[in-house]
Amino acid sequence: MKRFQFRLEKLLDLRKFREREWELKLAEITGQCLLIKKKIAELKQEIYRCMLERKQTEKSVNMDDLHLNELYVQRLEQNIDALSEELERKEEERKKIHAEYMEAAKKRKVLDKLKEKRSEEYYHIHKLEEFKKLDEINNSALIRSKITN
């Protein structure tokens, strides 16, 4: 029996390729989002460390050191705000890329289902034809055996 040949195989390959491209873009933007989240967490940890350090050294406080510490914490908070805004932009971009990826996956799945359906039809038809041939051979053998007897 001949192997099934899907006429739209090239188109299916192209759709698989496009889906993979969107998947890679999604992975890249997700990695960027995670990196920004990690930076924000590190900055918050640094603020916490500075506050803790300030409490521990409260008894021998130099006003200049206290002022510098406060400025440093403010700068860290500004960085957190800037990173949060960047994270929001990246998350919006990630949502758009995710939607494109889902669309590409949907298009590929449609062709996969069509290929599967056509393949099942093809093999079903060939099995029926094979069964008919075997049936004809059996009938011919039966007729020959009756004629020779």
Closest to 95 in 3D by CA, of 30, 50, 16, 5: 30
pLDDT tens string 67-79: 888 999 999 999 9
In this predicted structure, the answer to whether residue 22 has a pLDDT above a threshold of 90 is yes
More confident residue, 149 or 136: 136
pTM attached to this predicted model: 0.74
Q: What are the CA-CA distances from residue 116 to residues 9, 96, 133, 139 (Å)?
A: 12, 30, 26, 34
Residue 126 tokens read as: 């060939």
Q: Which residue has the higher pLDDT, 95 or 4?
A: 95
Alpha helices in 1-149 (DSSP H): 9-56, 63-148
Q: What one-letter code names the amino acid at 91?
A: E
Domains of the chain, residue spans: 9-112
Give the mean model confidence (pLDDT) for residues 128-135. 90
Mean pLDDT for the chain?
A: 91
In the chain, % of residues over pLDDT 90: 68
- Summarize pLDDT for 29-45 with one digit per residue, the tens: 999 999 999 999 999 99
Residue 2: the pLDDT is: 80
Residue 149 has pLDDT above 80, yes or no: no
- How far apart (Å, rounded) are the C-alpha atoms in residues 99 and 93? 10
Residue 59 has pLDDT above 70, yes or no: no
For residue 4, what pLDDT is reported? 85
